């Protein structure tokens, strides 16, 4: 443990600070402190407290506190609905707080959401008494600053990342030791449709661009196309394995950035052990507070910010649903609007919504109107570029009828006639939409 003398306790002992009515913050994604979660749930099973509220962003691994058996004991009010709590949230056992990712930290700092206990995971201390939050700073730093009690799992597998991730041990009240390796996330290889989308997006990315992209096959497909680019930068909410070959090849070097020049900036990570190893002791990566990474006005300080985000459904006016399937919550607002708006304000920036034109079951994801109950995440006023496997269209400054024509042009061919008819019925024969409809 270097020169630091830290007194460790057991997970079971540490979670005794939790009392009825408390609000608990759990660190996110790979950093979810599983040994503390397990000990907390054990206390819950023994009915040692009730009405304990739990908050977190997306977490990897088990989330037993959201299960029906803990009704009345734990209430999960997440800031993002991840796959591990989706079913329980949709069934009403857990709930969701709609919030821009940039503002999750403000919930704690403003007191809108109290934080009684922050349960986090950190690296081993250095000789100066600093530990690192490793793979997840996001809203966790704000929770640490505002919590009555901070319990930290010290884990030698947590990478020592820099930026806002570095905190002094004096900010922590209780220490637990656990050397379970971090949860890894592995992504599928892009399929033919995703590769096509990746190509269209890559064509929009200029040399010297600063990139933000989400997770999954489409971002990986985009990154795979960028080998010939120069001087790309990263200012994002998260990155995964796809960026590593581009860093090694010198394509991503941050040389053209106006702020944090030469640095990759992120607030959390999700990927394989390779990513965790990459950020360990790496001064080229800054893991920052989500209030910094996702502030649209900070994002806009870099030129040519290119933000690529996905959607569940888009209507013919350009409204983007990205958080729910009808009334059923699927994910959350996340950082989509933070980056769509930030990229739009950036000099030479491009905000891109990219998605396959149909679902896995062949249903068109482009619809005349959004499914009733669907949430509008990116409004029709915010959307710029829209990309499917059938092409890329720029909707900025276009009228409703012109948008409809452009959006339908990148829909699945099997859906275009029905979409055309809907647009015709919506805009009537006296509008110029009729001209393109009549030509068919």
Question: Active-site residue numbers?
Answer: 237
- CA neighbor of 349 nearest in space, from 358, 340, 362, 357: 340
Angle at the Cα of 278 (from 234 to 232), degrees rounded to 5? 20
- CA neighbor of 296 nearest in space, from 253, 349, 255: 349
Residue pair 395/406 in contact by the 8 Å Cβ criterion:
yes
Q: Please, what is the end-to-end C-alpha distance for the chain in angstroms?
A: 73
Report d(CA 343, CA 351) in Å as an integer: 5
Alpha carbon distances (Å) from 363 to 174, 194, 218, 315, 366: 51, 16, 19, 14, 9
In which residue are the tokens 């396959």 written? 356
Alpha carbon distances (Å) from 315 to 197, 329, 369, 370, 417: 19, 18, 5, 6, 15
Report d(CA 87, CA 364) in Å as an integer: 24
Report d(CA 314, CA 369) in Å as an integer: 8
Structure tokens that stand for 343 in this block: 């990229």
């Amino acid at each position: 443990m270097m020169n630091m003398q830290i007194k460790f306790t057991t997970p079971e002992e540490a979670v005794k600070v939790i009392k009825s009515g408390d609000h608990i913050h759990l660190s996110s994604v790979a950093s979810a402190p599983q040994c503390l979660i397990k000990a907390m749930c054990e206390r819950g099973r023994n009915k040692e407290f009730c009405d304990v509220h739990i908050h977190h962003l997306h977490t990897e691994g088990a989330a037993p506190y959201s299960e029906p058996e803990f009704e009345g004991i734990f209430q999960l009010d997440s800031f993002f609905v991840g796959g591990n709590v989706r079913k329980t949230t949709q069934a009403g056992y857990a709930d969701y707080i709609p919030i821009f990712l940039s503002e999750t930290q403000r919930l704690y700092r403003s007191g809108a959401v109290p934080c009684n206990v922050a349960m986090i995971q950190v690296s081993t201390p250095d000789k100066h008494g600093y530990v690192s939050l490793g793979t997840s700073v996001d809203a966790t730093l704000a929770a640490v600053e505002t919590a009555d009690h901070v319990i930290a799992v010290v884990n030698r597998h947590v990478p020592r990342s820099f930026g806002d991730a570095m905190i002094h041990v004096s900010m922590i009240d209780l220490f637990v030791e656990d050397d379970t390796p971090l949860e890894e996330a592995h992504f599928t290889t892009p399929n033919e449709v995703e590769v096509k989308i990746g190509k269209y997006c890559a064509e929009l990315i200029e040399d010297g661009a600063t990139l933000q992209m989400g997770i999954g096959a489409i971002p990986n497909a985009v990154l795979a196309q960028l080998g010939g680019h120069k001087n790309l930068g990263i200012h994002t909410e998260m990155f995964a394995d796809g960026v590593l070959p581009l860093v090694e090849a010198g394509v991503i070097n941050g040389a053209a950035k106006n702020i944090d020049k030469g640095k990759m900036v992120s607030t959390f990570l999700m990927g394989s052990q390779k990513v965790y190893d990459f950020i360990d002791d790496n001064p080229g990566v800054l893991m920052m507070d989500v209030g910094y990474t996702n502030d649209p006005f900070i994002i806009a300080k870099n030129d040519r910010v290119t933000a690529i985000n996905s959607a569940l459904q888009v209507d013919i006016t350009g409204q983007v649903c990205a958080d729910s399937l009808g009334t059923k919550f699927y994910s959350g607002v996340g950082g989509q609007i933070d980056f769509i708006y930030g990229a739009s304000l950036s000099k030479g920036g491009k905000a891109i919504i990219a998605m396959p034109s149909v679902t896995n079951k062949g249903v068109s994801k482009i619809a005349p109107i959004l499914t009733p109950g669907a949430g509008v995440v990116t409004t029709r006023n915010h959307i710029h570029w829209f990309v499917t496997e059938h092409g890329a269209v720029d909707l900025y400054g276009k009228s409703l009828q012109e948008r409809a024509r452009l959006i339908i042009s990148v829909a699945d061919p099997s859906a275009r006639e029905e979409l055309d008819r809907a647009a015709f019925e919506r805009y009537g024969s006296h509008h110029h939409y009729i001209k393109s409809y009549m030509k068919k």
